[in-house]
Amino acid sequence: MIDWDDIDTVLLDMDGTLLDLHFDNFFWQEHLPRQYARKHQISEEQSSAHLEDQTRDNQGTLDWYCLDHWSRRLDMDIPALKRELSHMISLRPHVLEFLTRLHHSHRDVVMVTNAHPVTLEIKMEQVDITRWFDRVVVSHDLASPKEERGFWEKLQSLHPFDPKRTLLIDDTERVLDSAREYGIAHLLTLLQPDSQRQKRLDTRFPGIHHFDEIMPAGTGTS
């Protein structure tokens, strides 16, 4: 599926790629509606419907990922609520071995995430994998989400890479579409970003279940 001889740079998404998306889905679809309902003395069904209305128009924008935005808009301390569930944050299978092998292969490895900086901080407090990356790039710092071409252009200026020799692995197809339009040649998605949900069968990009399917050659555990 991947000819590693063609790859110099590996760009890796965080949520749903390196980390199990179950934490995020549970937070936004169950925990937050429950806490919002409790605060406003409404049913969880009413709370879920209201939150869905609030978020629908922001999907794929920086606001969608911005904890400051949602804290203000919902009058809720979103970071504090996330920390209540921090024990649910977990790596996907084979991630550490995959990152270790990439490190020992001497390729350029960059985390590219739409997660808010505070979300990144909360997650790395639980599963700190930053040591395996040459750089961690947060879309908020570039003022563009990965769904926009501008993200890749700014990333190129910040951390130069050859799109034709770059692999991006991301669970969001709108991000993969944007990367393909920019010219990134090697694109993979995840077939089961959330371990508690059914595997996706209708992806438009080549997909893997776990990273053991594409391990680069070599060993090393430190």
Question: What local confidence, expressed as pLDDT, does residue 221 receive?
Answer: 43
Residue that terminates a domain, selected from 45, 69, 87: 87
129 and 141 together in one domain? yes
105 and 66 together in one domain? no
| Cα separation, 24 vs 32, whole angstroms | 10
| Cα separation, 62 vs 15, whole angstroms | 15
158 and 75 together in one domain? no
Residue 222 forms part of a structural domain: no
Task: Render each residue's pLDDT in the chain as its tens digit; 222 residues.
Answer: 899 999 999 999 999 999 999 999 999 999 999 999 999 999 999 999 988 888 777 777 888 899 999 999 999 999 999 999 999 999 999 999 999 999 999 999 999 999 999 999 999 999 999 999 999 999 999 999 999 999 999 999 999 999 999 999 999 999 999 999 999 999 999 999 999 999 998 899 999 999 999 999 865 444
| Cα separation, 221 vs 136, whole angstroms | 21
Residue 153 forms part of a structural domain: yes
Catalytic residue among 3, 6, 63, 212: 6
Query: H or E segment at 136?
Result: strand 135-138
Question: What local confidence, expressed as pLDDT, does residue 220 receive?
Answer: 46
Q: Which structure tokens are listed for 103?
A: 């490190």
The total of structural domains in the chain comes to 2
Known catalytic residue at 57: no
Residue that terminates a domain, selected from 72, 87, 102: 87
